[in-house]
Amino acid sequence: MKSLTTPTSLIIHGHFYQPPRENPQVDLIPKQPTAKPYQDWNEQIYDTCYRPNSGSRYLNPYGNIERIINNYQYISFDFGPTLMTWLKRYHSDTYDLIIDADKKSIERLGHGNAMAQSFNHTILPLDTPRDARMQIDWGIDDFYRRFGRAPEGMWLPEAAVNPAVVDILSEAGILFVVLSPWQCASYEDDSGNYVPVYHAQVPYDVPFLLHGKQGRSISAFFYHPALAHDISFQHALRDADVVYERLNAIRNNERVQLINTATDGEIYGHHEPFGDMALAAIINKTQSGTEFSLTNYATYLAEHPAKRSAILSAGDEELGTSWSCSHGVSRWYKDCGCHTGGDEGWNQLWRTPLRKAVSSLGEQIDRVYETEMQKLGIDAWKLLRDYGSVISEHETVETFLQRKRISDQSTREVAQLLAGQKFKYFSMTSCGWFFSDIGGLEPRQNIKYAVEAAKLHNQYSEQDLLDPLLSTLQLAKSNRRGEGSGLTIAKTILDAASGRIEAAGYFVLNRKFALAQDYVQRYGKFSLERYMDIDQHTIEIELKDLVTTVRHTGSVRVVMSPDSATYQLDIELCDKQCEELIEKRRIAIDSIPPRITDEAFRWIDNSLSSINDDEVLRIAGDIEHYTMLLKTNRSTPNEIFHTENIGTCLRALRSIFTAPNTIRWDKKRDSVSQLLEFVRRRGRTSDIATVISLLSGELDRFAKLIVDTGFNQQKGKYVLDILRLSRKHGFEPSLTAMQNAVYPHLGREEHSELLNSLRLELNFA
């Protein structure tokens, strides 16, 4: 029993993960209406969880910021490789803070907080041994490339494990995993006797040895079940003091040397609003007190090696166990009764045919892949193992194939076969079976990947790969009659315009709608290699698929409607290598993907807001005169005229803050003040929201500038002026990015007077 004179070790683990959501046809996430007001679910969870935890606020009783805490520096965590790839692509600042947090934890503890995760969250006990090993190897390689060190621990998707997986993990060099106590059947006590586990009574304060079928072993930590349950499902994070009191009660009553708990990381801010701040408060309390010492699993294991063994529960059909299915791993291949969401009377009988469909396809793809690679004299599985670097965007496929000395004649075939393998694995992502119905986002996504994998391998297969896939998917019936079956979903995918057509349409609209400064050369996995206007209505175009290396050439003809109110795009694309027509489509403007529509509106908005410097100042002067007349004249202007002036005012503000201009701030400050005051007095709610967005964007832009190039007097004065000017006219822009940027500089003696003023404006204590 532990003495209470020394701190108790405390480990809080967050499992951070999102499934791959990109449309495989274009390698972009489509707009997801259910994630409103965000573009997609990745963006929503980023903004409510991943970003806040990289700079969480600890407030004093008056609501001022006392401290900004990178929570990742103090908790144990794992991030899925597909999520990290997305973060690096779209939110590199937060990505860098996560990587830095691991480095800081090594400096503090000697071992890093970060754990690896197998690659795209397949259920390892249901994978073939080769696929499970590939998932683990890809996860290790991805971790090493990102964090610059070998991982010591690995988070298993859904904590799913069996003895065969233990062997693979041990062989791959993984030292430990974290599991639910419900996954333990019995454990060895101090006397060497095995104690059966009832009601999750496995000790959580010591690691145990797990043994595989082949005699290999790794260590395992079983987390505190009640603590994890309260955090995840009982809203414990609504009061950090309550959580801390609970930790103290465990410490005082049970006198253990370690308290460890593990939950989905999304609970810290997404599932539980402001959960990141509760976590930051717990971290702050722990660091300011003497009861606990925050550590991580690798550090604790190095100091307290596992000496006793534990035996895993077998689970249904002896396939293994997980932390979210009471039957083992049945949730991911049959109707076991575990599900999330859905109406009364629904079933999950669709799970079995969906699992069979992707598993059978995987076997067929593996045969085709291996056969084709043997013809080329290539070690198929070693090449696929190394291809993980491409999937994680650590290198391009062309660089990879050159490094592997694949001949130019074979580049295209090898790239397509490797891409097909990637989508085979993605079709097995666990989320496809987790929820209530096959018509949900996640099962649809798995089917998209399966269809794409089949198409990429079909051209090299003697037997058609799509037919058996579709036949099996037909057996996966939706609970909603209107949804049909997995076959209905697959047919919708097959009938849709291809990614190359979508990309061609995107580039044409970009050139038609946007200013030259907004021209785009890349759309997802497609690059624009050539664009030429032949005449007013005809364009010649060449695209390159950066994943498969295939080049497409063709023409796009703009077809005007009879009333010239809209137009359509007739797109014809050929395979450049064989010069054969491969697809011909007519795309109506009203049927383009919502993601493209949103970008098109932005291009048009930027174009409309492109005002030269002199005109900006003239508009501000006119608005000043208009406002003066409104104050002194008894007559009311025409409402249309008033609305137009608001629109002109917003255009001028947008031009000042988003378009290139050469007017010095001191020359345009008074104009900005006039425009802001006019919107405050005369604008509608939507107009005010637009101005707040513009001011927030300007502060965010300068925040990035401060992070990238440092703080100086000029930047500080400008930021201070923007803040004061905004508030003078009643606008409260977002301060998050600027608070993060200025916080590290607040203790500097240089610029102390300016920094103290910023401290007040940015709500620091």
Q: 91-127, pLDDT tens digit by residue?
A: 999 999 999 999 999 999 999 999 999 999 999 999 9
pTM score of the predicted model:
0.95
Q: What is the pLDDT of residue 5?
A: 81
At 43-73, the pLDDT tens digits run 999 999 999 999 999 999 999 999 999 999 9
Q: What is the pLDDT of residue 200?
A: 74
Q: What is the pLDDT of residue 645?
A: 84
Tell me the C-alpha to C-alpha distance, in Å, between residue 597 and each of 25, 93, 601, 689, 693: 18, 27, 6, 21, 20
CA dihedral of 129, 134, 139, 141, whole degrees rounded to 10 = 140
* Sheet with strand 310-312: strands edge to edge: 194-196, 184-188, 310-312
**CA 723 to CA 744: how far, in whole Å?**
19
Q: Which residues are CB-contacts of 171 (< 8 A; sequence separation ≥ 6)?
A: 216
Q: Which residues are CB-contacts of 679 (< 8 A; sequence separation ≥ 6)?
A: 646, 649, 650, 653, 687, 688, 691, 729
Amino acid at site 235: H
Q: Would you say 543 and 522 are in contact if contact means Cβ atoms under 8 Å apart?
A: no
R_g (Cα) of the chain, nearest Å: 29
Tell me the C-alpha to C-alpha distance, in Å, between residue 104 and each of 108, 145, 619: 6, 17, 51
Sign of CA dihedral 175, 181, 184, 186: positive
Q: What is the pLDDT of residue 328?
A: 97
The position carrying tokens 């990015």 is 737
Q: What is the pLDDT of residue 667?
A: 85
Low-confidence ranges of the chain (pLDDT < 70): 1-3, 199, 562-565, 630-642, 660-661
Nearest partner of 617 among 561, 675, 571, 559, judged by Cα: 675
Angle between helices 225-233 and 240-254 (to 10 degrees): 170
**CA 711 to CA 718: how far, in whole Å?**
11
Q: What is the pLDDT of residue 636?
A: 59
Q: What is the pLDDT of residue 625?
A: 78
Query: What would the two tokens of residue 538 be?
Result: 């005809």
